[in-house]
Amino acid sequence: METITPIYQAVLNELKPIEIFAAITSLLCVYLTVKNNIWNWFWGLIGSVLYGYIFFRISHIYANAGLQILYFVPMQFVGWYVWMKGNPEKNDALPISALTNRERIMWCALTVLLSVALYYGLSPLVSAFRLPPPQLSPMDCFTTGLSISAQFLQTYKKFENWVLWILADLIYTFYIFPQLKMPITTFLYAVFTILAITGAISWYRQMQNEVMHKQEAATTAG
């Protein structure tokens, strides 16, 4: 008990109200995404703005800060529009689909190239704007590259988005946020990892059901 108390107190000392609120809104976003619910984009917008501020002003992981503000924020509006576009009366009109093997190779290569470009492009920007030194720059850039690809694929309901999210979430959970002493966000991303696995299973089942329904409809029409 004597050992637990200092650890508990140390965790409490690291807690920040803005981090707690950002974690709650982000958790709602991922939960609703797993449920294939269009309101995930609303909560994703709020969480992206809050984490963009935290990563830039407090944690100094600039690639992830830019990811939140310059990419995730506008993508929430794009995602809402794309999900609604198929049928205004049905929020989940866009069907879930999978990439071809060729597209998978292309996205893997694109993600690696993007991560490398971020790593080598970040230092000149930090120096030019005289910002505090970046933290965990290699993993910061790699997880940013993974997240950019995952978010784009999620927007168009590609099943593989969950594979990228799982990889990124594992790195965030076991390396980046523990190193930055962000206990709430570390716990959040552990939950994200579980939800991403759940999402992958859920979307796979829905995708299989949609294929089955198309086959049945084609058989009936024939």
Q: Full-prediction pTM beyond 0.85?
A: no
Per-residue confidence (pLDDT) for residue 166, from 0 to 100: 97
What is the pLDDT at residue 88?
45
Cα–Cα nearest to 111, from 123, 103, 101: 103
Residue among 56, 27, 24, 25 at smallest CA distance from 144: 56
Asked whether the beta carbons of 72 and 30 are under 8 A apart, the reply is no
Residue whose entry in the numeric block shows the structure tokens 């690809």: 149
> Which pLDDT score is estimated for 13?
52
Enumerate the domain spans of the chain.
Answer: 4-86+99-221
4 compared with 28, residue with greater pLDDT = 28
- pLDDT of res. 15: 58
Q: Which residue has the tokens 């784009």?
A: 152
The dihedrals phi and psi of 130, each to the nearest 5 degrees, come to 55, 50
What is the arithmetic mean of pLDDT over 144-164? 94
* Beta-ladder partners of 97: 158
Q: What pLDDT shows up at residue 222?
A: 60
pLDDT of residue 7: 39
| 157-186 residue pLDDT tens | 999 999 999 999 999 999 999 999 898 899
pLDDT band at residue 73 under the 50/70/90 scheme: very high
What is the tens place of the pLDDT at every residue in 77-88? 998 988 887 544
pLDDT in tens, 33-67: 888 888 999 999 999 999 999 999 989 999 999 99
Q: What pLDDT score does 14 carry?
A: 52
